[in-house]
Amino acid sequence: MVIGPSILLVYAWVEVLNNPGFTLADGYAIGRVPWTPLGLFVSLAGSAIGLLAGSIAIAIEGGWWRRLLIVPADAAAALWSATALGVLPFPRFQGPDPVGFAYDLPTAAIILVLMPAALLAALCLTPRMESTPRTRLRRVPAREPWSDSPPDAG
């Protein structure tokens, strides 16, 4: 999930350096072979692996709210994947071509695939907090009701 976007960013930066006046978006739009398709493929593959591994780890060991976040994250990625593979229709797109779909609509790929994968990976890697009391109260000593009163009782 890091290597693919890094490839795209570095190659877009190379295009900006080679063509003064270009922006990073212009450098990405040039899309020279083989670096842009390679960066997109690595990004999509890393996101799919991150979604799968994060979903499995959270389903096994996560809390209820983490498990609840698996559903929209996987649903968004499934929606994008179904469109990229040509199962769901999209105007002016002939699937199956996930790399071409990600190149044409990078914002959709980022929002529907990369960000949910990053969210699940982050949730998977962060430890669960133990449910401990957060107040600064002392524990009440355990004593029988018929025993002597505590020494600090007035």
Domain boundaries, the chain: 3-125
The model's confidence at residue 2, banded by pLDDT at 50, 70 and 90, is confident
Across the range 58-77, mean pLDDT stands at 91
pTM for the predicted model, two decimal places: 0.77
Cβ atoms within 10 Å of 113's Cβ, excluding its own: 28
Q: CA dist 150 to 92, 137, 138, 139, 143, Å? A: 81, 17, 14, 14, 9
Residue 154 has pLDDT above 60, yes or no: no
In the prediction, which pLDDT does 131 show?
Answer: 66
